[in-house]
């Protein structure tokens, strides 16, 4: 009996057959599949956050499909195949864990992290076929979500000494950027306002770093919290037979505060 891994590879090969395969699958290429890779990755995250492990199994399969699909397209072009993809990640994991697969000893997590980053830097340099001097910021994918890209860039800079020693000056920088936004608003220059808001967001990411908070996760949680509270407002307004636009902002703000208290009480009840 075929392993399910081999069965999946065979299914994709059949779907990609130019004469007997599926027309949609046949016409796909690396670029056309980009939205699906991103979508499937986010659906994996969603299943994890919901604690739905049956769905997680299914979504991991969908994500694996994207890996196999790309590998098949590459194999058809003579670039590489799925086995080489697996070979590369195995070699990378062994190389980046010398404390597990070799004799390296790290005294703490900081030493382990520094060794990991050095291994990644060595890999980037090996990929640099032109042998140009690489920036320490090289290799951070510009296609990452903005918060994640910013965090990785700031982490790289910090690893090379460009960082505040503690959180206190980061708070000062937040206030400084807020003042610069106010000045830009007074000048009425929209491009300048956008630039200063961007600077504020960057400093907020730096603040998150210093507080050991993942900014992407934190914002996602806050957005969900906002949506939950706003849904509470909608329910209260609907119960009164009106629409949101029928209400004054002060009344909606009152519902918002009631939502905060409602969900706070729910949380306390669940913990008791």
With a cut of 90, say whether residue 248 has pLDDT above it. Answer: yes
Contact 71, 81 (CB under 8 A): yes
Q: What is the pLDDT of residue 138?
A: 82
| Size of the chain, expressed as the number of residues it contains | 272
If you write DSSP's letter for every residue of 179-215 in order, what string do you get? Answer: HHHHHHHHHT-HHHHHHHHHHHHHHHHHHHHHTT--H
Look at residues 34, 39, 123, 129 and name the one whose alpha carbon lies nearest to residue 73. Answer: 34
**Higher per-residue confidence, 121 vs 28:** 28
Write the pLDDT tens digit of every residue in 95-109: 999 999 988 898 888
Write the pLDDT tens digit of every residue in 227-237: 999 999 999 99
Write the pLDDT tens digit of every residue in 195-229: 999 999 999 999 999 999 999 989 999 999 999 99
Tokens of 258: 């009631």
Q: What is the mean pLDDT of residues 247-269?
A: 90
Q: What is the pLDDT of residue 126?
A: 78
CATH 1.10.287.1080 fits 146-213, yes or no: yes
Q: What is the CATH T-level fold of the domain 4-93, as seen in this structure?
A: Helix Hairpins (1.10.287)
With a cut of 70, say whether residue 129 has pLDDT above it. Answer: no
Give the pTM: 0.68
Work out the angle at residue 162's Cα, subtended by the Cα atoms of residues 160 and 164, and round it to the nearest 5 degrees: 130
- Can you say how many angstroms the Cα of residue 138 is from the centroid of all Cα atoms in its chain? 18
Expressed in percent and rounded to 5, the helix, strand and coil fractions of the chain are 75, 0, 25
Write the pLDDT tens digit of every residue in 73-91: 999 999 999 999 999 999 9
- 4-93 with 146-213: one CATH topology? yes
Domain boundaries of the chain, sorted by first residue: 4-93, 98-127, 146-213, 226-271
Write the pLDDT tens digit of every residue in 4-19: 999 999 999 999 999 9
CB neighbour class for 43 (10 Å; exposed up to 12, middle 13-18, buried from 19): middle
Residue 256 φ/ψ, nearest 5 degrees: -60, -45
Chain mean pLDDT for the chain: 92
With a cut of 80, say whether residue 2 has pLDDT above it. Answer: no
Q: What is the pLDDT of residue 93?
A: 94
CB neighbour class for 143 (10 Å; exposed up to 12, middle 13-18, buried from 19): exposed
Q: What is the pLDDT of residue 168?
A: 95
C-alpha span between 186 and 180 (Å, rounded): 10
Q: What is the pLDDT of residue 88?
A: 95
| Percent of the residues in the chain that have a pLDDT greater than 70, as a whole number | 97
């Amino acid at each position: 009996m075929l392993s399910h891994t081999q069965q999946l590879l065979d299914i994709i090969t059949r779907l990609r057959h130019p004469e007997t395969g599926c027309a949609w699958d046949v016409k796909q290429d690396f670029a056309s599949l980009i939205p699906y890779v991103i979508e499937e990755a986010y659906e994996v995250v969603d299943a994890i956050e919901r604690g739905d492990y049956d769905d997680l199994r299914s979504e991991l399969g969908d994500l694996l499909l994207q890996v196999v699909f790309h590998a098949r397209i590459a194999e058809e072009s003579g670039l590489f195949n799925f086995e080489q993809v697996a070979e590369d990640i195995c070699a990378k994991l062994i190389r980046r864990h010398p404390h597990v697969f070799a004799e390296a000893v790290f005294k703490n997590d900081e030493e382990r992290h520094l060794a990991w980053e050095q291994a990644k830097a060595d890999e980037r340099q090996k990929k640099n076929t032109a042998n140009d001097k690489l920036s320490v910021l090289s290799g951070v994918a510009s296609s990452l979500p903005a918060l994640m890209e910013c965090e990785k860039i700031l982490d790289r800079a910090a690893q090379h000494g460009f960082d505040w020693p503690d959180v206190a000056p980061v708070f000062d920088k937040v206030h400084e950027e807020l003042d610069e936004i106010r000045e830009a608003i007074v000048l009425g220059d929209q491009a300048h306002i956008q630039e200063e808001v961007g600077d504020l967001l960057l400093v907020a990411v730096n603040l998150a770093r210093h507080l050991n908070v993942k900014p992407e996760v934190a914002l996602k949680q806050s957005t969900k919290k906002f949506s939950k509270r706003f849904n509470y407002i909608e329910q209260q307004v609907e119960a009164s037979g009106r629409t949101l636009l029928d209400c004054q902002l002060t009344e909606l703000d009152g519902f918002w505060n009631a939502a905060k208290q409602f969900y706070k009480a729910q949380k306390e009840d669940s913990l008791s």
